[in-house]
Amino acid sequence: MSKRKAGLNTTCTHVGAVPDEQFQGAVSPLYMSTSYAYEHVDVKRYPRYFNTPNQEALCRKIAALEHTEAALIFGSGMAAVSTSLLAFLNHGDHVVLSQQSYGGTHSLIKEEFGKYGIDFTFVEGTGVADFEAAIRPETRVLYLETPSNPLLLITDLEAVSKLAADRGLTTLIDNTFASPVNQNPADFGIDVVIHSATKYMGGHSDICAGAVAASREHIDRIFQLAKNLGGSLSDQTTWMLERSLKTLGLRVKAQSENALRLARHLQDHPDVSSVYYPGLESHPGHAIARAQMHGFGGMLSFELAPGIPLEGFVRALKWVRPSMSLAGVESTLTIPTLTSHALLSEADRQRAGIRPNLIRFSAGIEDFEDLSADLDQAIASARKQAGVTPQKEGAV
Ligand SMILES: *Cc1c(COP(=O)(O)O)cnc(C)c1O
């Protein structure tokens, strides 16, 4: 065989399985043991937390997908986020994050970090200059999320890793929205790549898990804290996640294609006032997204024209369902003002650019024609209920 590195879908299908040496079955046997013989085992790594046979095999698959040496999996995305941040931050240290970070990450930092004596700055912008301006002598970590939630803003990965290297800082990224299919931050020098595997990696809205991919050295450091905190993933769920990842490449490709086509469709729609999607030439981060992403992802946001009631629109949808989460094979949407950003003050929401008529859409794998027709009929129905006249020429 040639030395060619396996492609994405081959990696998804074959890398990181537990070989079935007894029966040569097609899939990984599931080892449910929480107890293993103590002879010939390094007691520092005895298998239970983060290192059972199924967990270690899955970690190899995730490391291969993220182009890193090693990976760890966790019981939730938040376990991965909290453990990774705390592994690189000590009492007296400071971390810089974007204001656009995931809501749970925001709460973790605002509610818990004070008692460990860890200081933080949330920066308003997502540009490298915004991060640079917030760096202090005590800063140890830059924490990114690109594309961001819910406006899909883009941060330049290469520029941030250069900045971090100059200042001796560690870079962490929440890569959930892009998934390993669309973005591999380690290729641009980012140190630690975090996922809520509950989203694209699981992909069927039935798994809660987290993952971290990084160099062996960084993963060892995170592992030391992880085993003390104990947020390990069950072997049953590990097995399901391995199974889900086999179709990750296919699913995310279909979702990204649907999102791009829907973004273009909505951009031309007379009753849609704005569309936020990094794949659109009109998006401010488009050029950077092109340079650092393989595809633009399955998430987009848009605003209905003034006067079209959101509730009427959501109620009229046939296939697309309202949902708190994202990234499943089924298309879903959420209204950030009512869900993820409901607890922010109106002023904070305005500063973050989140308007009351903003809709965040998670594209599934359905046929594009069914999704676009569903959105069109729901917009028309809401407009009719409200008695609104079309906003632009050529309204349907
Ligand atoms: C959902 C999510 C998380 C948290 O993951 P859980 O698996 O729900 O704990 C973190 N970051 C992003 C971007 C998410 O969407």
Same-domain check for residues 235 and 270:
no
List the pLDDT tens digit at each of the 396 positions of the chain: 567 889 999 999 999 999 999 999 999 999 999 888 888 777 666 778 899 999 999 999 999 999 999 999 999 999 999 999 999 999 999 999 998 889 899 999 999 999 999 999 999 989 999 999 999 999 999 999 999 999 999 999 999 999 999 999 999 999 999 999 999 999 999 999 999 999 999 999 999 999 999 999 999 999 999 999 999 999 999 999 999 999 999 999 999 999 999 999 999 999 999 999 999 999 999 999 999 999 999 999 999 999 999 999 999 999 999 998 999 999 999 999 888 788 778 887 888 888 989 999 999 999 999 999 999 999 999 999 888 765 554 444
Residue finishing a domain among 195, 210, 245: 245
In degrees and rounded to multiples of 5, residue 32 shows phi and psi of -90, 0
Q: How far is the CA of 299 from the centre of ligand 1 (A)?
A: 14
Q: Ligand 1 pocket, 123 CB below 6 A?
A: no
Q: Is 43 helix (H, G, I), strand (E, B) or coil?
A: helix
Burial class (CB in 10 A: 0-12, 13-18, 19+), 268: exposed
Same domain assignment for residues 235 and 265? no
End residue of a domain, out of 223, 245, 267: 245
**Quick one: 210 and 274 in the same domain?**
no
Residue 78 Cβ contacting ligand 1 at under 6 Å: yes
Sign of CA dihedral 207, 212, 216, 217: negative
CA dist 263 and 260 (Å) reads 5
Question: What is d(CA 215, CA 238) in angstroms, rounded to the nearest whole number?
Answer: 21
Which bin fits 27, alpha (ψ -120 to 50), beta or left (φ > 0)?
Answer: beta
Identify whether 291 is part of a domain.
Answer: yes
Q: Same domain, yes or no, for 51 and 92? A: yes
196 lines ligand 1 (CB under 6 A): yes
Q: What is the CATH number of the domain that holds 185?
A: 3.40.640.10
Asked if the structure places residue 327 within a domain, the reply is yes
Sorted by sequence, the CB contacts under 8 Å of residue 394 that are 6+ apart come out as: 270
On whether both 81 and 175 belong to a single domain, the answer is yes
> Is residue 2 domain-resident?
no
| pLDDT given for residue 36 in this prediction | 84
Q: Strand pairing partners for 139?
A: 94
Q: Is 146 in the pocket of ligand 1 (CB under 6 A)?
A: no
Domain span including residue 273: 248-386
Is the CB–ligand 1 distance for residue 149 below 6 Å?
yes
Q: Is 58 contained in some domain?
A: yes
- Determine, yes or no, domain membership for 395: no
Does residue 259 share a domain with residue 203?
no
**Whether 217 and 258 share a structural domain:** no
Of the three residues 245, 270, 296, the one that is the final residue of a domain is: 245
Among 108, 149, 176, the mutation site with the greatest number of ligand 1 atoms within 8 A of its Cβ is: 176
Do residue 231 and residue 367 come from a single domain?
A: no
Q: How close are the terminal C-alpha atoms of the chain, in Å? A: 57
Q: How many domains does the chain have?
A: 2
135 in any annotated domain: yes
Instruction: Count Cβ atoms below 10 Å from residue 82 Cβ, excluding itself.
Output: 22
Instruction: Tell me, yes or no, whether 241 and 252 share the same domain.
Output: no
Within a domain: 266: yes
Report the atom number in ligand 1 closest to the C-alpha of 149. 13
CATH of residue 361's domain is 3.90.1150.10
Distance 227 CA to ligand 1 centre (A): 21
pTM: 0.95
Q: Is the CB of 208 under 6 A from ligand 1?
A: yes
Same structural domain, 160 and 225: yes
Task: Report residue 116 CA to chain centroid gap.
Answer: 27
Tell me: do 123 and 190 sit in the same domain. yes
Which ligand 1 atom is at minimum distance from the Cα of 325? 1
Residues 320, 379 within the same domain:
yes
Asked whether residue 396 is assigned to any structural domain, the reply reads no
212 lines ligand 1 (CB under 6 A): no
Residue 13: what pLDDT? Answer: 97
